Amino acid sequence: MKQVQIVVPYDKTEPVFGFVVDNLNVKNVLRFATDTAHILQFRIPDDAVLETVEKLKSRGVGVEYGFIDIMDLRTSLPREADETSEKRIQREAALAVEEIYDNVKKQASLSFDFIAFVVLAAVMAGFGLAQNNVTVIVASMLLSPLMGPMLGVALGYVVSDRSLFIKGTQNEFIALALSFAVGALMAVLLPVVYPPLVSTILADINAGALTEITRRAGFNAIDIGIAIFSGAAVAVSVTRGDMSTLVGVAISAALMPPAVNVGLMIVLGAVSSSAAMIQIGIGSLMLLVMNIAIIDIAAIIMFKIKKLTTIADKSATWKAVTQFQKTGTTTLYHTAPVQAAVEPQGESGGATTVASFTPAESSAGTHKPQGNSSKKGKASSKNQS
pLDDT digits (tens, 9 = 90+) for 111-157: 999 999 999 999 999 999 999 888 899 888 888 888 889 899 999 99
In this structure, how many other beta carbons lie within 10 angstroms of the beta carbon of residue 170?
Answer: 15
Domains contained in the chain, CATH given: 2-77 (3.30.70.120), 98-305 (1.20.1080)
Question: Which pLDDT does position 33 carry in this prediction?
Answer: 87
Given a cut of 60, whether residue 360 has pLDDT beyond it is no
DSSP helix/strand/coil, 180: helix
Question: Which pLDDT does position 313 carry in this prediction?
Answer: 62
Backbone angles phi, psi at 242, to 5 degrees: -125, 75
Tell me the β-bridge partners of 44. Answer: 2
Tell me which range, 23-37, 73-87, 167-181, is most confidently predicted by mean pLDDT: 167-181
Question: Which pLDDT does position 5 carry in this prediction?
Answer: 92
Closest-CA residue to 292 (of 243, 255, 242): 255
pLDDT-based confidence at residue 194 (cuts at 50, 70, 90) = confident
Is the model more confident about 197 or about 46? 197
Given a cut of 60, whether residue 63 has pLDDT beyond it is yes
E strands present in the chain? 2-8, 30-33, 38-44, 67-72, 340-342, 353-355
Is the model more confident about 76 or about 196? 196
**Single pTM value for the model:** 0.68
**Half-sphere exposure of residue 293, counting CA atoms within 13 Å on the CB side?**
8
Given a cut of 70, whether residue 2 has pLDDT beyond it is yes
Rounded distance between C-alpha atoms, residue 31 and residue 17, angstroms: 9
Question: Which pLDDT does position 173 carry in this prediction?
Answer: 94
Q: What mean pLDDT is predicted for residues 309-321?
A: 63
Rounded distance between C-alpha atoms, residue 133 and residue 125, angstroms: 9
In this structure, how many other beta carbons lie within 10 angstroms of the beta carbon of residue 331?
Answer: 8
Contacts of 333 (CB under 8 A, 6+ apart): none
Per residue in 165-191, pLDDT (tens digit) is 999 999 999 999 999 999 999 999 988
Per residue in 206-230, pLDDT (tens digit) is 888 888 899 888 888 888 888 898 8
Question: Which pLDDT does position 207 carry in this prediction?
Answer: 87
Contacts of 185 (CB under 8 A, 6+ apart): 263
Torsion region of 367: left, alpha or beta (phi above 0 gives left; psi -120 to 50 gives alpha): beta
How would you class 291 by CB atoms within 10 Å of its CB: exposed for 0-12, middle for 13-18, buried for 19 or more?
A: buried
